[in-house]
Amino acid sequence: MFGIDQKALRVTWTIFLFTFLLVVIYSIRETLLVFAGAIVFAYILSPIVSLIERFIPKRRTIALALVYIVLLGTLVGLGFILLPRLAGQATSLFTRLPGMVMSGGWATLPLPSWADPVRGQIIEAVRNWASGLQKQAVPFIQEAGAQILSGVSNLVPMILVPILAFFFLKDARDIRSGLLNMTHGSSRATLDAIFNDVHSMLQSYMKALVILAAASFLAWMIFLNILGEPYALLLAGIAGTLEFIPVIGPAAALVIILVVSSATGTGGLVWILVFWLLYRVFQDYVLNPFLMSSGVEIHPILVLFGVLAGDKLAGIPGMFFSVPIMAILKVVLSNLARTYTEREFSVVD
């Protein structure tokens, strides 16, 4: 019709739809991040809900309510215990950091011979950075209540995440059945296989990530206390939190710990580096493979690319979600390719 090749028209239309989909996803990325966060939170709570559901079968809503009540109580209790200490250590560190840079370990930090002539400029640059950090961080910590009230709109996503997670946990089976009922035949079987593989992968990945973060926190807490680091709790909390960011997170935690330890004059920088290397070997080659039985098998280069791309698209949340998204895409493409191959063989037969 009109001299237009039908195959070229289909290809053009497919490219247009794909581009349009990418534009829509980018436009609503903040909303998608909220839903993605709710799904992650649901996967974290899912094993606990399933455990309680064994004692009260066919009462999933009650099990969910019990989990949320216990979780809320635990968070409030930990908040009263840990938050004052963390806030106190953070305020003390940011207040004293500029002075510690000038009088602490940074002043005598060994540098290569070629960098020694510019030691003064390096220390001055670090001191300026620390002063700027102090001016921004200390008022925020000291006026946290006012900051929260004035930025209540920013808390809406944080409030929505546990609410959406509750509905995902409560109605996940019905949502899955509804989506499967929209397809028939081989398409239904393919979609069912995708759901099974994605569920298994995310369940394994999130369980491993939470345990790895907790293990990192405890390991650094014990080690830094042995070294006598005055900000052990704060630094261990940073290390455990950054464990959720693949590749870059643990390296950033090491840099932060080295900078603070050198500024406070605690010393033991070599021991910190040795501990980090040994712990990474233990985590990456012993603990991680043991926890992630159906692990996210993605090449490290692709992981690094995904983390950097996620940072550009959505900041820290984008860095966190980059690996699960790539793993889901891999699962989807693998199942679609297998279905296409099976169809080709059936046509040949």
Q: Which two tokens stand for residue 60?
A: 């999933």
Pairwise CA distance, residues 97 & 95, whole Å: 6
Residue 146: alpha-carbon gap to chain centroid: 27
Per-residue pLDDT for 33 more than 50? yes
The CA R_g of the chain, rounded to the nearest whole Å, is 25
Q: Which residues contact 53 (CB under 8 A, 6 or more apart)?
A: 59, 60, 63
Q: Residue 295: is its pLDDT beyond 50?
A: yes
* pLDDT at 221 (0 to 100): 93
Q: Is the pTM of this model over 0.95?
A: no
pLDDT band at residue 170 under the 50/70/90 scheme: confident
Question: What's the average model confidence in pLDDT over 166-173?
Answer: 86
Q: Look at residue 277 in the predicted model and tell me its pLDDT.
A: 93
- For residue 228, pLDDT over 90 is answered with no
pLDDT band at 121 (very low <50, low <70, confident <90, very high): low
Residue with tokens 């809406």: 156
Of 294, 298, 343, 293, nearest in space to 322 by CA: 298
Within 8 A by CB and 6+ apart from 330, the residues are 297, 298
- Tell me which of 250 and 103 has the higher pLDDT: 250
Q: Are the beta carbons of 232 and 88 closer than 8 angstroms?
A: no
pLDDT in tens, 36-92: 888 888 888 888 888 888 888 777 788 888 888 888 788 777 767 776 777 677 766
Concatenating the DSSP letter of every residue in 181-195 gives HT--HHHHHHHHHHH
pLDDT of residue 222: 94
Are 244 and 209 in contact, with CB atoms under 8 Å apart? yes
If one compares 287 and 114, the residue with the highest pLDDT of the two is 287
pLDDT band at 163 (very low <50, low <70, confident <90, very high): confident
Taking 80 as the threshold, does the pLDDT of residue 218 lie above it?
A: yes
Mean pLDDT of the chain: 77
